Amino acid sequence: MHFEFADTPLRGVKLVQRKPIVDERGYFARFFCADAFYTVGLDKPIAQINHTLTRGKGAVRGLHFQRPPYAETKLVSCLSGAVFDVVVDLRANSSSFLRWHGEVLSAENSRSLLVPEGCAHGFQTLSDSCELIYLHTRPYHPASEDAVNILDPALAIEWPLPLAELSERDRSHPFLATDFAGIDL
């Protein structure tokens, strides 16, 4: 088996453990298999793959998502360095509505997070240079893009390091309205 899938406290968010085959030459690891991921809810084809590089320990990106009809499922993996990866459940009527969950993803631990539609995603770098790869079920659609401020007191995310770098764009994301009822999918 190339993957182990574990539930997290957020409904439908899965921790994915890749299982590399190792020998004296190095390793082989399956990164994605549609059949395996279908069994845990990724039932749409991958439409876009993005690659990011973030420099500077403590830098934060997020919390981003796309609204319907361009809501997307993401598979997020760290190719180099290490990040504290965060998912926030924004789905209306979800049993884990407005809760967050974080996991350390790194090149060494071969872990990924499966982020369902209706959840916001962001991360903080735990090393000086981090590369992530994202598999998306929908292409980027600017008019459907949205975000929540990483410092929103309603979420109270416990970032592991002091916040170092944050883009002006991410810094200006709004806090959730007090009457926010969630995203209808």
Q: Which of 70, 101, 121, 134 is catalytic?
A: 134
Strand order in the sheet with 100-106: 100-106, 82-89, 119-125, 60-66, 145-147
Q: Which of 64, 121, 141, 173 is catalytic?
A: 64
| Secondary structure element (H or E) that encloses residue 121, with its range | strand 119-125
Query: What is the residue type of 152?
Result: D
How many CA atoms does the CB half-sphere of 104 hold within 13 Å? Answer: 10
> Is 120:63 a contact under the CB 8 Å cutoff?
yes
Show Cβ contacts of residue 36 under 8 Å, excluding neighbours closer than 6 positions.
Answer: 2, 3
Q: Using CA atoms, how far apart are residues 117 and 49, in angstroms rounded to an integer?
A: 16
Q: Which of 113, 98, 102, 116 is nearest to 153 (CA)?
A: 98
134 is catalytic: yes
Q: Which two tokens stand for residue 16?
A: 């994915």
Catalytic residues: 64, 134
